Amino acid sequence: MHKLKFALVLLLSFLLSNAFAQDKVRVDSLVKVLKTTKQDTVKAKVYYNLMMEYVDADSALAIKYANSGMALALKSHADKILGNIQNNLGTFYNFRGERRISDSLINLALSTRLRIKDSLGAAYSLMNLGHNNYDQNSYVNALRFYTEAARIRAKINDKKGLAGSYIWIGNVYYEGIINYPRALEYHGKALEIYKELNDELGQSYAYSNMANVYMEQKDYDRSLKYNLASLKLKLKLNNVRGIGVLYNNIGNMYFYSGKPDKALPYYYKSLEIRKSQDDKIGVATSYVNIGNVYLDKNDLAKAQDLMLKAIAISKELNFKVGLRDGYLSLFTIYNRKKDYPKAIEYFKLHTDYKDSTMNEASAKQIAEIQTKYETEKKEERINLLNKQTLIQQLKIDKRNTTIFIICCIFIVFAAFAYLFYNRYRLKQAAILQAEVMRQQDMATKSIIEAEENERRRIAGDLHDGVGQLLSATRMNFDTLLERLNIADTETRELADKTMAMVDESCKEVRTIAHQMMPNVLLKLGLTSALRDFVNKIDSHRLKIVLDVAGLANRLDSSIEIVLYRVIQETVNNVIKHAKASLLDIQLQMEGDEVSVTIEDNGRGFDTSDKEKFEGIGLKNIITRVEYLKGTVDISSSPGKGTLVAILIPLN
Q: Are residues 433 and 478 located together in one domain of the fold?
A: yes
- Per-residue pLDDT averaged across 21-36, rounded? 74
Q: Are residues 559 and 497 located together in one domain of the fold?
A: no
Q: Are residues 423 and 566 located together in one domain of the fold?
A: no
Is 640 among the domain residues? yes
- Stretch among 260-264, 554-558, 597-601 having the lowest mean pLDDT: 554-558
Q: Give rounded-to-5 percent helix, strand, coil for the chain.
A: 80, 5, 15
Distance CA(483)–CA(488), nearest Å, equals 14
Distance CA(437)–CA(593), nearest Å, equals 22
Is 407 among the domain residues? yes
Residue 545 bridge partners (DSSP): 584
The CATH number of the domain holding residue 563 is 3.30.565.10
Is 345 among the domain residues? yes
Q: Evaluate the CA torsion angle 339, 340, 341, 347 in order and state its sign.
A: positive
The CATH number of the domain holding residue 328 is 1.25.40
**Residue where a domain terminates, one of 492, 516, 540:** 516
> In this structure, which amino acid lies at residue 81?
I
Distance CA(504)–CA(498), nearest Å, equals 10
Whether pLDDT at 495 is above 50: yes
**Segments forming the whole domain that contains residue 499:** 358-516
Is 524 among the domain residues? yes
Is 580 among the domain residues? yes
Across 43-47, 55-59, 263-267, 351-355, the highest mean pLDDT is recorded for 263-267
pLDDT digits (tens, 9 = 90+) for 114-157: 999 999 999 999 999 999 998 888 899 999 999 999 999 999 99
**Residue where a domain terminates, one of 516, 537, 567:** 516
Q: Are residues 338 and 323 located together in one domain of the fold?
A: yes
Q: Are residues 626 and 536 located together in one domain of the fold?
A: yes
Is 146 among the domain residues? no
In sequence order, the 6+-apart residues with CB closer than 8 A to the CB of 119 are 113, 152, 155, 156
**Residue where a domain terminates, one of 476, 495, 516:** 516
Please report which confidence band the pLDDT of residue 397 belongs to, taking 50, 70 and 90 as the band edges. Answer: low
Q: Are residues 507 and 564 located together in one domain of the fold?
A: no
Identify the pLDDT of residue 18. Answer: 44
Higher pLDDT, 458 or 186: 186
Whether pLDDT at 358 is above 50: no
- Per-residue pLDDT averaged across 421-432, rounded? 68
Q: Are residues 449 and 593 located together in one domain of the fold?
A: no
Q: Are residues 501 and 568 located together in one domain of the fold?
A: no
Burial of 404 per CB tally in 10 Å (0-12, 13-18, 19+): middle
Q: Are residues 320 and 390 located together in one domain of the fold?
A: no
Burial of 220 per CB tally in 10 Å (0-12, 13-18, 19+): middle
Q: Are residues 627 and 505 located together in one domain of the fold?
A: no
Q: Are residues 321 and 437 located together in one domain of the fold?
A: no
Identify the pLDDT of residue 447. Answer: 53
pLDDT digits (tens, 9 = 90+) for 60-118: 888 998 899 999 889 989 899 999 999 999 988 887 878 899 999 999 999 999 999 99
Is 459 among the domain residues? yes
pLDDT digits (tens, 9 = 90+) for 568-587: 888 888 888 888 889 999 88
Distance of CA 128 to the CA centre of its chain: 12
What total number of domains does the chain contain? 3
Q: Are residues 374 and 502 located together in one domain of the fold?
A: yes
Are the C-beta atoms of 601 and 580 separated by less than 8 Å? yes
Is 582 among the domain residues? yes
In sequence order, the 6+-apart residues with CB closer than 8 A to the CB of 535 are none
